[in-house]
Structure 1
């Protein structure tokens, strides 16, 4: 296991996770808020993506409930440099939304990542994705820039926010704060 929190644990992704990750990524809300409505994920292209992540040693974890071992989401990081000090964060939660699990998982993940030599984590959020924007800000991410009209969906253009988090800015959550 990569890390453990009060209710969750993060484990390395496996090729056999491709169908559940594809299911999550094809959820209409996840598609709308993070990967785009026009994007269709198949088991095959998800398996290929997982295989590439494993081969390139890009951190990719499945979020699971401790009490049932049931997978509920994923967190992944793409290293943007060879020294693994700067990464780009992506995450998604399946059906267990609204229970504080994303915040708990991300807090545990970031604490573990920053305990190593990682200095900076970036994330991108569509301007209309207030849930993820507020979550990231609650963990200490700072809005660093706006790519104006950089995303097109449903006949309209939307801004994309770039957020950054430095090691010293991370807001560790208390165990009872979800």
Structure 2
């Protein structure tokens, strides 16, 4: 079986370039994924080694290769340093749906960067992947993330009790969704 020869899509916004994450980005990724505040709701312990960042990059490539998702590195236009990521996982093409995930270095919180990246990735998903539904699964205490998706038009559908087992405990998750027609209305 041959690898997908289609070039990785680059998305540009006013301030950002969303691009493929490469092995050369491992130190940047390690910097923010070793931050306990960034990792608080990530489902993994803060990274302790650059090798863990390399494993994360390998996972991004595996979901792309298996057509189960795609993850963009978030960079500022004026500097090509990955400061976070955003993308889709658990894609179900036959049902035109996927989940969205994201994280951002705490140094860049509160500047609208996550919102700008999320909006661009959502637009790309509806326009280029022919998605009808994008889901976001968020732990109830993660208020900034709840506000972020609500700002994009996501609707809270319900609580999934003890939905994930991470960090030695069961976590409840809110299920949010955004439908294509709802997103178009927000533009």
Q: Normalised by the shorter chain, which TM-score bucket?
A: 0.7 to 0.9
SS in 2 for 1:80: strand
TM-fit CA distance, 1:125: 0.7
Q: Which residue of 1 aligns with 2:34?
A: 26
SS in 2 for 1:34: coil
TM-fit CA distance, 1:79: 4.0
Please say if residues 74 and 92 of structure 1, whose CA atoms lie closer than 8 Å, have aligned partners that are also in contact.
yes
Aligned counterpart for 1:135 among listed residues 134, 148, 153:
148
Which structure: greater helix fraction? 2
Moved over 4 A (4+): 36-41, 149-158, 171-174
Q: Which residue of 2 aligns with 1:10?
A: 18
TM-score by length of 1: 0.82
Closer/same/farther in 2, CA of residues 14 and 136 from structure 1, 3 Å limit: same
Matches within 5 A, 1:12-161: 12-37=20-45, 42-57=52-67, 58-83=69-94, 85-94=96-105, 95-116=107-128, 117-150=130-163, 159-161=172-174
Greater alpha carbon shift after TM alignment, 24-33 vs 94-103: 24-33
TM-fit CA distance, 1:38: 7.5
Please say if residues 136 and 176 of structure 2, whose CA atoms lie closer than 8 Å, have aligned partners that are also in contact.
yes
Gaps in structure 2 of 5+ consecutive residues: 1-8
Gaps in structure 1 of 5+ consecutive residues: none
**Cα distance in 2, alignment partners of residues 154 and 60 from structure 1:** 23
Please say if residues 29 and 82 of structure 2, whose CA atoms lie closer than 8 Å, have aligned partners that are also in contact.
no
Root mean square deviation, CA, Å: 2.8
Please say if residues 28 and 81 of structure 2, whose CA atoms lie closer than 8 Å, have aligned partners that are also in contact.
no
Greater alpha carbon shift after TM alignment, 154-163 vs 17-26: 154-163
Deviations 1:27-86 (A, max 9, x none): 111211332447867134224313313422421101110122332110121143144821
TM-score by length of 2: 0.78
Please say if residues 87 and 121 of structure 2, whose CA atoms lie closer than 8 Å, have aligned partners that are also in contact.
no
The number of aligned residues is 174
Greater alpha carbon shift after TM alignment, 152-161 vs 139-148: 152-161
